[in-house]
Amino acid sequence: MTGAAGRGRRTLLARGIALGLPAMAAATAGAQESSSLAAAVFASHAGQVVKVQVVETGSAAKAVIGSGFYATARGHVITNYHVIAKLVAHPERYRAEVIDRGGRTWAVRLLDVDVVSDLAVLATDARPADPLLLSTAPLRQGVRLYALGHPLDLGLSIVEGTYNGFLEHTLYPKIHFTGALNPGMSGGPTIDRDGRVIGINVSTEGNEVSFLVPAGRARALMDRALQARYQPPEKFLPVISRQILAYQQEYLGRLFADSVPRVALGHYLLPTRPAAFFKCWADADRDEDDPYEETRHRCSTDDYVFISGDQSTGVVEVHHTLLHSAELNPFRFYALFEQRFRSERSGSYGTEEDLTRFTCDARNVRQGSLVVRAAFCVRRYRKLDGLYDAVLTAATLGDAASGVVTTLTLTGVSYGNAQRIATRYLRSIAWSE
Amino acid sequence: MIVVEVLDHRGHLRERVRVVAFPASIGRAYDNDIIVDDRLVSPHHARLTIADDGWVIAEDLDSLNGIRGQSGGPRISRLVVPSGGQLRLGRGSLRIVDAALPVAPAVAEDLAQGALPRLFGSALGSLVICAAAIAALTWSSYLGGYERTNTAKVVSQALALALVLAIWAGGWSLAGRLLSHRVSFLAHAAVASAALLMGVALNVAGEWLGFATGAERVERAFFGMVMLGVAIAALNAHLRLATSLARPRRLVAAASLVMAVLAFVAIDAYGDREPFSTEMEFSAILKPLDTRLVRSVSADEFSREMIGMQSRVDSLALKSRSK
């Protein structure tokens, strides 16, 4: 729901969008300053890195460029799912091709995807002599790594950087790579000095904070796609639905199930950080000019799943706003409270092509000694069967000088999970003296 | 003995003439028994005679435009007019009434005026209503806000409201001055104020009842209908003060005007409608009401309702996909 762009993290797509000179300078400077070792790494392995292009069939124009690498001698190429996402959504409008170091262009066939890890395997007729090996051996933090790819379609580049271990608080492992990844490098390999692939370039937060999909995920995908009886599906959208459904079932199954950790805001006890892969922030506003105080608490998962340029999913978010005023009379306090509750109605980004409108049900609900005004809103994914976005938002009633607006947002979940988790969430709201 | 009532082209009574002797002459000239001041009426237009059996007979005296029956039609040289019947001449008509016709007893002065005209009729009453409306609007707007405010801001808002009210009443007064030579500024202001008061009261009642019962839409629809009635009544009152339209036509005019505005708003909204939106449309009214007075469901019931929603959500996906 929260779009990739909205979260500040960018996938490394290049669509003729220049990111400005500083980013390019950083990338090329990195290459120039590289030691002779980097030069050696580049010389021996650059031949295995390819440019992946998604071409609009009507105009024969490039729609997306990214990077990839040969992972088998039979010409299998690994890249990011997001590089070839257009091909999945509109196979009739796009085709893909890879261009190798020697300038040869190979037609590709999409073999399999792992949308959750953002990976795809492509089959080509190329027969590379020396494909890259995937490595899952543990590394020490600080080890030098080399990212390869086609930043901004400027030609194959090498970026030297540092291995900084796996990210904390993520559901699925991701490698923190300190080095400037830029659009166009998506899907390219990040290798160690011996040419073993440690991770696949996937996204950046800017300022050399970059992320890699661990090679183990690519290994698992390859193992599946290279089985003798594996047949690539006719349509990939149902595959993607199934993968996201399995993913959400895994991480949501037990969410808010047993003892929910709760945070006290005023006299209210509210669910917080339901699992280790959530990050939480709190903030309090006490503006002298305002006749009220506002305390906010927010927890969100950090992982999101890229579906298309218009749609990301897989984010769970919880936020609470406690309002309190000793100054406003009950009517004026409720005018404020209602305004904050009302503002929860502006849903999150989405397009008609991908989603239905929200359907809502709102009730005054008894929960323990509290009565809350609760609204449950759901919308369905149009292309991905069985997936929904759901929002439960509630305002506590009965106190003339304080109240909480609390909202749970689930994206890309099954209806059953949406209903179950929203109910568990609602039940974990309580009043304490 | 009969009485002849002279009616103008709108059917309004202009004059009553008691006819004591027959034949009685009708025309524009001053020597007639019944003088009709109408350029279409000849100086000596017609005369009334009485037959042996008591019928009143109208005879055309070769006038330019002639006389016609009650419902118009071709000109007639000789016409029998029953008691209570009419004949047309010129732009208006004459009604023949038997002098023996009984009339209703008198009504007391205040009843004839009705409660509303009494209130709106007096300057003090009008001012009280205006002040009440301005106070109610200012108060409800104060209670609907939450920013720090001060007396000067509240007073300036009240004055702005008074100004808008004065402009509205002024517009109607001007129309009244042009159409029926009546100004009635304060009465117009009072009518508008009364409608505003009703509007504020209905809005508050609708929100609170909607919140307490949880059925905001039903409440909104009901109070919306009542509000429509109030608007029509107010417009009717304005028209009554400003024009000399008869009651049925006034009501039709008021209702049509309100409906026209509604239709305009509806068409405008239809033009601006968005087939797709990411907005979650649910009733978000919150009131500081004791929770025991609020209709509520248990969390279990709400959870069951969530399950029931799935078919609605899914049908939405199917419906627009087939489009």
d(CA A82, CA A166): 21
Angle, CA of A198, A202 and A203, to the nearest 5°: 125
Q: List chain B residues with CB under 8 Å of A345.
A: 279-282, 284
Using pLDDT thresholds of 50, 70 and 90, give the confidence band for residue B111. Answer: very low
The shortest C-alpha distance from A93 to chain B (Å) reads: 20
Q: List chain A residues with CB under 8 Å of B317.
A: 356, 380, 382
Three-state secondary structure string covering chain B: CEEEEEECCCCCEEEEEEECCCCEEEECCCCCCEECCCCCCCCCCEEEEECCCCCEEEEECCCCCCEEECCEEEEECEEEECCCCEEEECCEEEEEEECCCCCCCCCCHHHHHCHHHHHHHCHHHHHHHHHHHHHHHHHHHHHCCCCCCCHHHHHHHHHHHHHHHHHHHHHHHHHHHHHHCCCCHHHHHHHHHHHHHHHHHHHHHHHHHHHHHCCHHHHHHHHHHHHHHHHHHHHHHHHHHHCCCCHHHHHHHHHHHHHHHHHHHHHHHHHHCCCCCCCCCCCCCCCCCCHHHCCCEEHHHHHHHHHHHHHHHHHHHHHHHCC
Of A316, A284, A300, give the one whose Cα is nearest residue A412: A316
Single-letter residue type at A273: R
- Give the pairing of strands A94-99 and A105-107: antiparallel
Q: List chain B residues with CB under 8 Å of A349.
A: 278
Using pLDDT thresholds of 50, 70 and 90, give the confidence band for residue B121. Answer: low
User: Are A376 and B302 in contact (CB < 8 Å)?
Assistant: yes
Q: Which DSSP helix (H) or strand (E) runs through A14?
A: none
Mean pLDDT taken over chain B: 88
User: Are B294 and A359 in contact (CB < 8 Å)?
Assistant: no
Dump the DSSP string for A234-271.
S-SHHHHHHHHHHHHHHHHTTTT-SS--EEEETTEEEE
pLDDT of residue B142: 93
Mean pLDDT calculated for residue range B187-196 = 94
Q: Positive or negative CA dihedral for B311, B312, B317, B320?
A: positive
3-class DSSP state of A301? strand
Interface test with A, best of B280, B295, B298, B303 (most A CBs within 10 A): B280
What would you report as the CA-atom Rg of chain A, rounded to the nearest whole angstrom? Answer: 24
| Cα distance from N-terminal residue to C-terminal residue, chain B | 79
Judge whether A288 is closer than 8 Å to chain B, CB to CB. Answer: no
pLDDT of residue B264: 95
Q: What is the pTM of this model?
A: 0.78
User: Are B282 and A362 in contact (CB < 8 Å)?
Assistant: yes
Of the partner residues B142, B143, B296, the one whose CB lies closest to the CB of residue A371: B296
Whole-Å CA distances, B13 to A245, B9, B93, B168, B323: 83, 10, 10, 32, 64
pLDDT of residue A349: 83
| Of A366-375, B143-152, B208-217, the least confident | B208-217
What does pLDDT average to in each consecutive run of 10 residues of chain A (433 residues)? Answer: 42 44 41 70 93 92 93 95 92 92 92 94 94 92 94 90 88 90 93 94 90 95 90 92 91 78 91 88 84 93 85 90 94 95 87 90 91 95 93 94 95 94 92 83
B259-270 pLDDT, tens per residue?
999 999 999 998
Q: Cis check for the bond before B23: say yes or no (omega within 30 of 0).
A: yes
Of A17, A20, A15, A22, give the one whose Cα is nearest residue A53: A15
pLDDT of residue A18: 28
Of the partner residues B279, B305, B317, the one whose CB lies closest to the CB of residue A347: B279
pLDDT of residue B222: 87
Using pLDDT thresholds of 50, 70 and 90, give the confidence band for residue B20. Answer: confident
Of the partner residues B148, B280, B291, the one whose CB lies closest to the CB of residue A398: B291
Is residue B28 predicted with pLDDT exceeding 90?
Answer: yes
The shortest C-alpha distance from B157 to chain A (Å) reads: 17
Among A residues 323-342, those touching chain B with beta carbons less than 8 Å apart: 325, 328-339, 341-342
The shortest C-alpha distance from B187 to chain A (Å) reads: 33
d(CA A214, CA A166): 9
The shortest C-alpha distance from A414 to chain B (Å) reads: 11
Q: Residue A127 in contact with residue A121, Cβ under 8 Å? A: no
Relative orientation angle of helices A415-427 and A237-252, to the nearest 10 degrees: 20
- Give the pairing of strands A49-56 and A61-70: antiparallel
Of the partner residues B142, B302, B314, the one whose CB lies closest to the CB of residue A363: B302
Judge whether A373 is closer than 8 Å to chain B, CB to CB. Answer: yes
pLDDT of residue A212: 95
Among A residues 221-280, those touching chain B with beta carbons less than 8 Å apart: none
Mean pLDDT calculated for residue range B90-110 = 79
Judge whether A109 is closer than 8 Å to chain B, CB to CB. Answer: no
Interface test with B, best of A323, A325, A363, A421 (most B CBs within 10 A): A363
Within 10 angstroms of residue A408's Cβ, the number of other Cβ atoms is 26
Quick one: closest CA in B to A335, which residue? B144
- What does the block give as tokens for B190? 């009072």
pLDDT of residue A371: 94
B30-46 pLDDT, tens per residue?
999 999 999 999 999 99
Q: Go through chain B and tell me how many residues it has.
A: 323
For residue A278, give every residue at least 6 positions away whose Cβ sits within 8 Å of its Cβ, in sequence order, or none: A169, A299, A300, A301, A316, A318
Q: Determine whether A126 is exposed, middle or buried from the number of CB atoms within 10 Å of its CB (0-12, 13-18, 19+).
A: buried
pLDDT of residue B65: 92
Q: Positive or negative CA dihedral for B292, B295, B296, B297?
A: positive
d(CA A137, CA A135): 6
CA atoms within 13 A on the CB side of B165: 28
- What does the block give as tokens for B167? 């402009």
pLDDT of residue A10: 62
d(CA A357, CA A379): 6
d(CA B56, CA B24): 11
Residue written as tokens 């409800």? B140
Q: List chain B residues with CB under 8 Å of A329.
A: 143
Beta bridge partners of A148: A158
Ramachandran angles phi, psi of A132, nearest 5°: -80, 145
Of the partner residues B147, B286, B306, the one whose CB lies closest to the CB of residue A334: B286
User: Are A341 and B286 in contact (CB < 8 Å)?
Assistant: yes
Of the partner residues A347, A380, A400, the one whose CB lies closest to the CB of residue B313: A380
CA dihedral A38, A43, A49, A53 (to 10 degrees): 100
Beta bridge partners of B9: none
d(CA A214, CA B52): 122
User: Are A364 and B148 in contact (CB < 8 Å)?
Assistant: no
